[in-house]
Amino acid sequence: MALLDGVTYGQMGSVRYRMFVSTWNVGGIPPTDDLDLEDWLDTRKSSYDIYVLGFQEIVPLSTRNVLGPEKNQISKKWKSLIGETLNKSLHDRKRIQKCEPLEHHKDGHHRESNAREFRCVVCKQMVGILVSVWVRKDIRNHISNPRVSCIGCGIMGCLRNKGSLSVRFCLHEASFCFVCCHLASGVKEADEMRRNSNVMDILSRTCFSSDTSNDLPKKILDHDRIVLFGDLNYRISMPYAETKTLVEQKQWNVLLDKDQLRFELSEGRALEGWNEGVITFSPTYKYLPNSDEYCWHVHGRNGERRRAPAWCDRILWLGEGLKQKRYERCEVKFSDHRPVRSIFTTEVDALQI
């Protein structure tokens, strides 16, 4: 975090923050005690001011889990692992700082050793979706009015096996909204229309309560900066055999020309006006367990079904003041999806005191 404009006490200045946003479908697999999250969260090389982490399928999407009481043991485990990982670098840094002077920053102040301690602002589960938001301890007081809104748009258009979990908060003078989605699956013709319908439902039905001010945004599109991310489940509209050949040849640009989400965006049928970074990575779904090999066939109750790789896991954004610096997948062989992450910088107006 650094001041961008020279300001004095009581004036409004501009502050830049670095934001880490990631989505990961973990396939209903519970995390182990020794699961290493450092590569995914990029804590060995970098540190960010805000982390927004969205999961899908933290529990299997069984009838019992969808209709029964919510079990939060798994979400607590993920929260614990995330906190340990983000704050591990703090403990390592404290040991180093005993022998080194404090770092001097551009704003003219020394950063205290606890400036890189992270606190959880929100950790909320809706069946298989989990959103966990973490910020640096020294900017926690600048976060206000956090709220959550859950929308089910799965079976019968309302059950929560699919849908969204949205989190909003204000950072200084700017409002942010993060919409973590798990949209309708399926590879049949016109299934992308079901996904478009899910998106429209989420944008229209999501509403945040407010007990402090009527001026706070209540709908997703009312916010200043919005990020929509998750397992959006859009596939590649191409015959199976042709897809298989192009995947084996790693012809990603040819395949992306047939990417359903790109087509729906270009036609204005979904998320018109939203931004997505350039995709330079290979498809993120569907992998064999603990493998770099794609899974081309799935054995189900109705026999064997074909599965072609796709860029199911995506991150899009809307609003001025967000700049994407990186958009990439992570090589974590935990589930049949690879996590996708995006690094943003965001500038907000802040009263200097």
Structure tokens at 234: 């859009």
Give the model's confidence band at 5: pLDDT under 50 very low, under 70 low, under 90 confident, else very high. Answer: low
Give the sign of the dihedral formed by CA 93, CA 96, CA 98, CA 103.
Answer: negative
What pLDDT score was predicted for residue 303? 59
What pLDDT score was predicted for residue 71? 85
What pLDDT score was predicted for residue 109? 39
Q: Per-residue pLDDT tens for 164-182? A: 999 999 999 999 999 999 9
Cα–Cα distance, 188 to 177 (Å, whole number): 32
Give the model's confidence band at 297: pLDDT under 50 very low, under 70 low, under 90 confident, else very high. Answer: confident
Q: Looking at the predicted structure, is the pLDDT value of residue 74 above 80?
A: yes
Residues with Cβ within 8 Å of residue 131, at least 6 apart in sequence = 52, 53, 54, 55, 122, 123, 124, 148, 165, 167, 178, 180
Contact 125, 58 (CB under 8 A): yes
What pLDDT score was predicted for residue 300? 64
Crossing angle of helices 260-267/191-205, nearest 10°?
60
Contact 227, 178 (CB under 8 A): yes
Q: Per-residue pLDDT tens for 187-246? A: 998 999 999 999 999 999 999 987 766 689 999 999 999 999 999 999 999 999 999 999
Q: Per-residue pLDDT tens for 266-278? A: 999 999 999 999 9
Q: Looking at the predicted structure, is the pLDDT value of residue 114 above 50?
A: no
What pLDDT score was predicted for residue 351? 80
What pLDDT score was predicted for residue 106? 45
What share of the chain in percent tops pLDDT 70?
A: 87
